[in-house]
Amino acid sequence: MKSEFVLAFNEVLEEKQLPRDVIIQALESAMVSAYRKAVTASAAQHVEAKLDPETGRFVIYAEKEVVDSVVDNRTEVILEEARKVDPDAQLGDMVIVESTPKDFGRVAAQTARQVIQQRIRDAERNDQMSHFEKQIGEIVSGVVQAINREGYTIGLDKKAEGILQQNNIIRGERFHMHDRVRALVVEVKDNPRNPQIVLSRTHKDFLRRLLENEVPEIFHGIVEIRSITREPGERAKIAVSATQQGIDPVGACVGLRGVRIQAIVRELHDEKIDVIEWNPDPVIYISKAISPARVVGVYLGEGNSATVIVPEDQLSLAIGREGQNARLAARLTGWRIDIKSVIEAASELIHTYEQGEDVVLTHETSGEEIRITIAELFADEEENIDKVRAVLAKKAEGRAILPEEIEILNGFVDRVEKRKTAKVHFSVADVLKMIGRKGLTQEEIEALSVQDSGLPAHVCEILENNGYRTFDDIYNVMKNDPDVMFKLRGVTADDMNDLTRIVTFVSKHKAAAEPEPVVESEPEIEEPEAEVEVTEPVAEPEPVAEVVEEPVTEPEPVAEAEPEVEEQELSMEDIFNSVSNGLMKMSDYEDDDDSRMDIGYSKPSKKKKKKKGVEIEYDPDSDSTTVRRKHKRGDDDWGW
């Protein structure tokens, strides 16, 4: 039969939900305090207590000095008693011996009650603190226990209480007693009585955690949340991207017939949620962030600003109620967005043209003022300006505008805005020219960061995330295998053009750093050691190849040095295969849409068909055909 102590001990464990060791430690500490109070022991004396959980018996051990005769039983012990504990004890030594007073259980029950309760409360509070500190940023579920003007008191696990204030509640939400509520743990504050756990349903991470719970692809990392912003109870925008090919990130979040996103909408009190696909190109990213409005063009301006042009009937939708859609798009992308209709943008450009004043902008990199003249901004637009004026006048009169006239406005605005944008942003070629004028050494050029190259910010981020942080890293990869760069997610053909400019820039400085070879004033043209000429009589039915030595003739004057020639014996079938292979080699890296840039492989030109891997000459005097293979000087085949 279990003792009353064991039953009470187990009841405390179940009620407080604390570890067994914590309760035992609290009881032992209380017994030590009771012993010190009962015998008025010094605080410097070492005292410890041991509890037997099966019987409930306490044993007190105290440190005492070994003496011949005991004067103070609290601090002294005779040698015989000390050697029962430590056989090697000597006079003057300090030993720990049992010192449990008589009737200590009754005395301890009276004196240690408050200490035990306080120790258990402290242990319970520390357990709550450690548990909910690990839950910061996670969703917890609780029951409404109290309602007041400041908010709600939510009962949580571990008998803890959370505070859900009015500013952390979605507008329009109402909860009643004993309603179950889910919220995000924002902060855990230490309090002398109980830890203060701050909850929120308006935090953007609350929406993030709901998506992780409802969308398995996000939980497993197949779909990644790139950015998220919301106005609680009104609207939210989420940018997602897939980490694996063949995955539709938007479709994964929405679910079949919208079942996944609708579950989140109901939890957020019918908050509207726009899910868009993240794109490394800020132009595409901003145009998608303005959804559901349709965008005509996005033009990146000074600093971190962008101008978005939308159709006239899409302007109110793009801005949103009280500017909500534009505000959320700006938060989502991190750009300052100015939304204009096509009519408004065209009117402003015509007003600028009529004033005739130069446009002054600030360059994003150098910070210098850039002055754009009217002639530069409206080059070759004289005829279009009259057409635009006619369309604007028609709009001012309230007449309907035809689709063809809308296209005229769109094209005019697009061309002028692009000219303005080109002046504000330096191209990679311009940046490389400025770097070349600084007179840097080869080591300094190789150590330059990709951020200093003039590449777009999203391309620099892609390169750095894949370990390509300097000019030298780009040079080494592009020289070995350019396709490695082209396969990176987010790198386009235009970006490959810019990367090739960087490689060419580094190559030129590498060549300049090497010692220049000694060049003779009149280089001699040496005859190949063994030249073989293949001749085939045309008139005879069975052509026989004969080996003849090519006569030594005076070299003809040429404009540039001819490549070295190696002659060998070939049949007509070999000649045909050689020519075919040469054409295939030249077209291996051609792009169908001509959008991918030349990264070391040149396209075959219609005007220069003779520059192939094989040269064929026919000698009418000897009625023979000579085949020569051409090899470029040096081993570098990349053409940097």
Domain ranges of the chain: 4-120, 135-202, 288-412, 428-513, 533-551+562-631
What pLDDT is stored for residue 115 in this prediction? 65
Give pLDDT tens digits for 240-266: 999 888 899 999 999 998 999 999 999
What pLDDT is stored for residue 542 in this prediction? 47
Question: Where are the alpha helices (H) located in 356-492, listed in sequence order?
Answer: 374-377, 382-396, 403-424, 428-436, 442-446, 457-465, 471-480, 483-486
User: For the domain 288-412, what is the CATH superfamily, name and number?
Assistant: K homology (KH) domain (3.30.300.20)
What pLDDT is stored for residue 555 in this prediction? 46
Cross-strand bridge partners of residue 346: none
Determine the 3-state secondary structure of 50 from DSSP. Answer: strand
472 residue type, one letter: D
Q: Are 139 and 213 in contact (CB under 8 A)?
A: yes
Q: Are 98 and 109 in contact (CB under 8 A)?
A: no
175 contact partners, CB below 8 Å, separation of at least 6: 144, 147, 152, 181
What pLDDT is stored for residue 183 in this prediction? 95
**Cα 274 from Cα 237, distance rounded (Å):** 5
**Cα 481 from Cα 478, distance rounded (Å):** 5
For the full predicted model, state whether its pTM sits above 0.75: no
**Cα 393 from Cα 378, distance rounded (Å):** 20
The fold of 4-120 is: N Utilization Substance Protein A; Chain:P; domain 4 (3.30.1480)
The closest of 229, 213, 232 to 173, measured between CA atoms, is 232
Q: At what angle do helices 428-436 and 493-513 cross, to 10 degrees?
A: 10
140 residue type, one letter: V
What pLDDT is stored for residue 392 in this prediction? 92
What pLDDT is stored for residue 593 in this prediction? 40
The reply to whether 135-202 and 288-412 are identical in fold is no
What pLDDT is stored for residue 368 in this prediction? 62
The C-alpha torsion from 519 through 521 and 522 to 526, rounded to 10°, is: -20
Can you list the residues of the chain whose pLDDT is less than 50? 1, 527-573, 575-576, 578-612, 631-640
> Distances from the Cα of 287 to the Cαs of 275, 298, 346, 409, in angstroms?
13, 7, 19, 19
The fold of 135-202 is: OB fold (Dihydrolipoamide Acetyltransferase, E2P) (2.40.50)
**Cα 90 from Cα 86, distance rounded (Å):** 9
What pLDDT is stored for residue 449 in this prediction? 84
What pLDDT is stored for residue 454 in this prediction? 74
**DSSP assignment letter at 94:** E
Q: What is the largest CA-CA distance in the chain?
A: 140
